């Protein structure tokens, strides 16, 4: 039952006078009115029946404190027990009891949905616009990676774990593994040929699934369904899809041509002048920058931010993004990328960090050559990207992709120069463009702040939903710090704007 009562009426509340006026939490409280959280989460509570619930505003603030200071659920409750500033920020009396740490996880999973955090961020941004904290009209967009909270595994190891799960399911359903079930899992590590190793493990697992089908109860059936789902993915055996049973949403992505990571990508928009995040989304590691550009821009506009200029790196120099900016009369400050046109984006995507093309099966180019072509007396410059022979040889779509050519691997030719590129190149040589584009550097500062000071370099939990909560709460936390700095510039000491908090507890 949702019940709101007046707070801080205790005699002991006089202790709060010890908190200095320029304290970070007091500056945040003066700048942002958090009462909107009660109405935002009201539908997730019963208003008339049940035991009185912990106030949603207090629970949300506990989560904010957790990410502001890099605490775990247990640590934030412990710190709030004796920290007067925390108790004052939460709206509690000094003698009030705090909730059990387990309620914080319950609050996130049952009361808050992923969209709720988007609404919280948007409302905070809207208040900043109303109060004149956000004055700039340039928006910056970029993405950064988050490492998964587990290691990636080869398909053979995953299939071995699936086989063991089938055994456990049979033990629960049949009180033991039937004698007719083959429990001798092949020693795949002793097989030198990787392709033979994968084929051996797959053949064993499929045979085991057929044997277990006759004895399957509820537990075994659930495991068998999981096995079918994993094996049906063409990318699995090629090591382009699922790489961990602990975190099924994490994927391998590219930071550069030689540097890969296993985890997630978070993409967000930020005001270039005030450096306040306006919208944020989280995706699996293979996400290509700019795919969700439209929703991010829309949520920014819904928060009341007027956008006149958009800053981004080469990854955002794409037809769909440029067209959307033109439709909304937003000037784009995006460097020309000569590798994004005249290519079917349903089949291929481009990673600007590694200068590589990726096909829809997850294969990637390993080399690049320049060539020229004469057509109608005119010379055209092309870039020829070559995919790996080994990758293409094992691809199930090889015949369709390469056709009847004698090539052993796919070659992708893209134009290096088109009229639009020429126009954009000339525009980007102007001083006006160069001055505006300098603002985009602030995005790198924000990435470093979230990853180094607030633990966003590595996921706390498993799964896309968990990482989305972590990233968006981190975004809200750094926004609150930035708002406090902008509104308290003349009342707080200089060093107070550069508080360094401990890393998050895993």
Domain range 134-148+253-337+419-506, CATH architecture: 2-Layer Sandwich (3.30)
Please identify every stretch of the chain with a pLDDT value under 50, giving residue numbers as ranges. 1-5, 49-53, 489-501, 504-506
pLDDT of residue 129: 92
Residues 467-481 have pLDDT tens digits of 999 999 999 999 999
3-state secondary structure of 303: coil
pLDDT of residue 282: 94
CA nearest 250: which of 160, 354, 150?
150
Q: CA-CA distance, 238 to 284, in Å (whole number)?
A: 18
CA nearest 178: which of 230, 224, 151, 217?
217
pLDDT of residue 256: 79
Whether the pTM exceeds 0.85: the reply is: no
Dihedral angle at the C-alpha atoms of 50, 51, 56, 60, nearest 10 degrees? Answer: -120
**Residues 6+ away with beta carbon under 8 Å from 71:** 65, 79, 502, 504, 505
Counts for the chain of helices (H) and strands (E), in that order: 19, 11
Residues 97-123 have pLDDT tens digits of 888 888 888 888 877 776 688 999 999
pLDDT of residue 418: 52
CA nearest 148: which of 267, 67, 238, 261?
261
pLDDT of residue 320: 84
CA nearest 473: which of 128, 143, 181, 114?
114
The number of angstroms, rounded, from the C-alpha of 308 to the middle of its chain's C-alpha atoms is 26
pLDDT of residue 454: 92
3-state secondary structure of 261: strand
pLDDT of residue 149: 92
The DSSP symbol for 21 reads: T
CA nearest 413: which of 361, 344, 310?
344
Name the phi and psi angles at 180, rounded to 5.
Answer: -75, -5
Going from the C-alpha of 381 to that of each of 16, 369, 392, the distances in angstroms are 70, 11, 26
Q: How far apart are the first and last CA of the chain?
A: 32
Q: What pairs with residue 373 in β-bridges?
A: 380
341 in Cβ contact with 414 (< 8 Å): yes
pLDDT of residue 487: 86
CA nearest 239: which of 346, 355, 388?
388
Quick one: tokens of 470?
Answer: 């972590």
Which helix (H) or strand (E) segment holds residue 81: the answer is helix 73-82
Quick one: tokens of 159?
Answer: 């299939």
Residues in the chain: 506
Quick one: tokens of 337?
Answer: 């990328």
Q: So where are the chain's domains?
A: 11-112, 134-148+253-337+419-506, 155-237, 339-416
Q: CA-CA distance, 116 to 192, in Å (whole number)?
A: 51
Give the count of beta carbons closer than 10 Å to the beta carbon of residue 395: 23
Name the phi and psi angles at 273, rounded to 5.
Answer: -80, -50
Q: CA-CA distance, 447 to 400, in Å (whole number)?
A: 41
460 in Cβ contact with 149 (< 8 Å): yes
């Amino acid at each position: 039952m949702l019940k709101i009562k007046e707070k801080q009426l205790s005699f002991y509340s006089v202790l709060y006078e010890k908190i200095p006026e320029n304290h970070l939490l007091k500056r945040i409280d003066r700048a942002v009115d958090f009462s909107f959280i009660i109405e935002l989460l009201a539908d997730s509570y019963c208003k008339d029946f049940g035991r009185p619930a912990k106030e949603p505003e207090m629970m949300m603030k506990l989560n904010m404190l957790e990410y502001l200071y890099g605490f775990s659920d247990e640590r934030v409750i412990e710190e709030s027990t004796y920290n007067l500033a925390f108790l004052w920020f939460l709206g509690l009396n000094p003698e009030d009891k705090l909730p059990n740490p387990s309620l914080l996880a319950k609050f996130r999973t049952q009361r808050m949905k992923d969209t709720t955090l988007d609404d919280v961020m948007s409302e905070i941004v809207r208040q900043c616009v109303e109060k004149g904290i956000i004055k700039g009209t340039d928006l910056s967009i970029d993405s950064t990676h988050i490492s998964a909270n587990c290691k990636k595994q080869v398909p053979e190891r995953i299939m071995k774990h699936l086989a063991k799960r089938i055994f456990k399911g049979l033990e629960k359903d049949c009180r033991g593994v039937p004698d007719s079930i083959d429990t001798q899992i092949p020693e795949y590590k002793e097989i030198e040929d990787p392709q033979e190793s994968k084929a051996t493990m797959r053949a064993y697992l499929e045979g085991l699934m057929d044997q277990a089908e006759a004895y399957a109860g509820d537990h075994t059936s659930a495991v068998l369904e999981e096995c079918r789902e994993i094996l049906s993915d063409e990318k699995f055996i090629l090591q382009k899809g699922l790489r961990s049973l602990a975190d099924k949403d994490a994927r391998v992505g590219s930071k550069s041509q030689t540097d890969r990571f296993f985890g997630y990508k978070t993409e967000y928009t930020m005001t270039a002048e005030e450096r306040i995040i306006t919208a944020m989304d989280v995706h699996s590691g293979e996400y290509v920058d700019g795919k969700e550009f439209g929703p991010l821009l829309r949520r920014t506009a819904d928060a009341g931010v007027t956008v006149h200029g958009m800053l981004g790196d080469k990854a955002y120099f794409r037809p769909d993004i440029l067209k959307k900016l033109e439709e909304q009369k937003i000037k784009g400050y995006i460097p020309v990328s000569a590798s994004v046109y005249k290519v079917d984006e349903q089949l291929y995507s481009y990673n600007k960090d590694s200068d590589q093309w990726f096909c829809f099966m997850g294969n990637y180019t390993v080399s690049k050559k320049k060539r020229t072509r004469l057509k109608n007396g005119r010379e055209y410059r092309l870039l020829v990207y070559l995919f790996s022979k080994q990758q293409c040889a094992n691809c199930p779509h090889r015949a369709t992709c390469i056709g009847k050519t004698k090539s052993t691997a796919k070659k992708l030719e893209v134009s290096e120069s088109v009229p639009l590129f020429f126009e954009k190149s000339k525009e980007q040589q102007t001083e006006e463009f160069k001055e505006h584009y300098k603002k985009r550097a602030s995005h790198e500062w924000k990435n470093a702040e979230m990853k180094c000071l607030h633990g966003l370099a590595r996921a706390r939990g498993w799964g896309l939903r968990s990482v989305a909560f972590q990233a968006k709460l981190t975004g809200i936390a750094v926004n609150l710090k930035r708002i406090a700095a902008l509104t308290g510039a003349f009342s707080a000491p200089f060093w107070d704007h550069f508080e360094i908090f401990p890393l998050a507890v895993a």
